[in-house]
Amino acid sequence: MKILHINLERGWRGGEQQTLYLMEGLRSLGHESALLARSNRDLLSRVRAAGFPVIVISKPFVIHGRHARGYDIIHAHETRGLQIASVWKRLHGKPLIYTRRVDNPPGSHLFNRWKFGQVDRLVAISRRVRDVMVRWGYDPDHIRVIHSSVPNTSDLDREVLDALKSRFRHRRVVGCVASLEKRKDHATLLRAAKIVQEEMPDVVFVLVGDGDMRARLEEQASALGLQNVVFEGYREDPFPYYGVFDAFVMPSREEGLCSSILDAFRYGVPVVATDAGGIPELVAHGETGLLAGIGDDLGIAGCIMRMLGDSGLRQGCVRRAHAVLTKGFTLETMARAYERVYLEAAGGHPGDG
């Protein structure tokens, strides 16, 4: 099959990484993929480096429908891409797939209802996302749940890793890799860091990522008198950080699934997270990590200190998390699941629900 993937995001986040992972997984199954995107240095450079053709369009996006011709499947990976793909469907008539990665419902205005009506199959990245869309009114018979995935390799840039180990020697490192945006709720994490600072002064929180909340969060950290928080900013290759993390924390208020947690599983880092969105589909409390309530700074701090203070718990969580990862969250698993959805939407196979 020939698949056109549409992703019009401006930056590089989990959804863009998952788009590329899927293209790579589909290629290993013998399918051809191309990306249609706006000018986006991080996304375009990585997709091109992986050897895929790229089509770059500019506003008004809707006038570029000719680029959708010649493909067997059109796959939109975010909402703006879905908007133009739904309009273009009248030109090419090919099956339209849309991956929904967030656990908040769409608006209920008429265009949204029409737009989602053009989708042949909606892929939810977690059962939580599926349930949100069903409550919104989307036909559950046209929804398939396919979790995000990560590669089974765990190579790290040794030079960067060695430099990080030197920086943080004699400290225990709690890491968070996430955009600094409201739904990730770093504000609660900073309050938790204050509690940990008083009980475990050798612990440092390393926040990898950037976003529109950074200035406000830095002000909050200063107001709290935090000496144990480092704002690392955006890193094109964040993976070496997992090599120095003693624990990983994700304090989200909303989360479709959270591929950063999958990366922690991949690199053998024990996880503390909130029970937001699809996270409990990855993190089983006391089994593959520890869970706290949304916005519960005391609970998050308690889970972090428990994880850091119990080597048996850490080792058990890492072992079980790795087993979960290899069983159901590999690139091959994800690619084969999407392949079935594509064939089903194109009339190749009946769906199994």
State the pLDDT at residue 353.
36
Q: CB-based burial of residue 244 (10 Å sphere; 0-12 exposed, 13-18 middle, 19+ buried)? A: buried
Buried b (16+ CB within 10 A) or exposed e, 115-129: bbebbbbbbbbbebb
Q: Which residues pair with 76 in a beta bridge?
A: 6, 98
Question: What average pLDDT score do residues 245-250 get?
Answer: 98
Single-letter code of the amino acid located at 335: A
Q: Give the contacts of 230 (CB within 8 A, at least 6 positions apart).
A: 204, 205, 206, 207
Domain ranges, ordered by start, for the chain: 2-149+330-345, 158-328
The per-residue DSSP string of 156-177 comes to --HHHHHHHHHHTTTSEEEEEE
Q: Please name the residue that has the structure tokens 């009248």.
A: 90
Nearest Cα to 335, choosing from 36, 105, 18?
18
| Residues β-bridged to residue 99 | 123
**Which pTM does this prediction carry?**
0.94
Residue 351: what pLDDT? 40
Work out the number of other CB atoms within 10 angstroms of the CB of residue 94. Answer: 22
Average pLDDT over the chain, rounded to an integer: 96
Per-residue pLDDT at 352: 39
Domain 158-328 matching CATH 3.40.50.2000: the answer reads yes
**Residue 155: which pLDDT band, with cuts at 50, 70 and 90?**
confident
**In the structure, what pLDDT confidence band is assigned to residue 348 with cuts at 50, 70 and 90?**
low
What's 7's DSSP letter? -
Across the range 191-211, mean pLDDT stands at: 98
- The CA distance from 66 to 74, in Å, is 13
State the average pLDDT over residues 64-90.
96
Q: What is the pLDDT of residues 286-342, one digit of tens each?
A: 999 999 999 999 999 999 999 999 999 999 999 999 999 999 999 999 999 999 999
What count of Cα atoms within 13 Å lies in the side-chain half-sphere of residue 335? 21
Distance, CA of 107 to CA of 31 (rounded, Å): 34
When pLDDT is cut at 50, 70 and 90, the band that residue 154 belongs to is confident
HEC string of 230-248 equals EEEECCCCCHHHHCCCCEE
Cα three-residue angle 245-247-250, rounded to 5 degrees: 110
| pLDDT, mean of residues 105-110 | 94
What is the CATH code for 2-149+330-345? 3.40.50.2000
86-91 contacts, C-beta under 8 A, 24 or more apart: 86/114, 86/115, 86/118, 86/119, 87/62, 88/62, 89/118, 91/65, 91/66
Task: Give the length of the chain.
Answer: 353
C-alpha distance from residue 16 to each of 11, 134, 181, 265 (Å) = 8, 25, 17, 20
Spatial distance between the Cα atoms of 6 and 22, rounded to a whole number of angstroms: 12
Is residue 258 pLDDT above 60, yes or no? Answer: yes
CA 13, 15, 16, 21 torsion: positive or negative?
A: positive
Reported as a single tens digit per residue, the pLDDT across 5-41 is 999 999 999 999 999 999 999 999 999 999 999 999 9
pLDDT band at residue 107 using 50, 70 and 90 as cut-offs: very high
Same fold yes or no, 2-149+330-345 and 158-328: yes
Tell me the pLDDT tens digit for each residue of 159-174.
999 999 999 999 999 9
How many angstroms separate the CA atoms of 82 and 305, rounded? 43
- As a whole number of angstroms, the distance between CA 294 and CA 297 comes to 8
Given its phi and psi angles, is residue 30 left (phi above 0), alpha (psi -120 to 50 degrees) or beta?
left
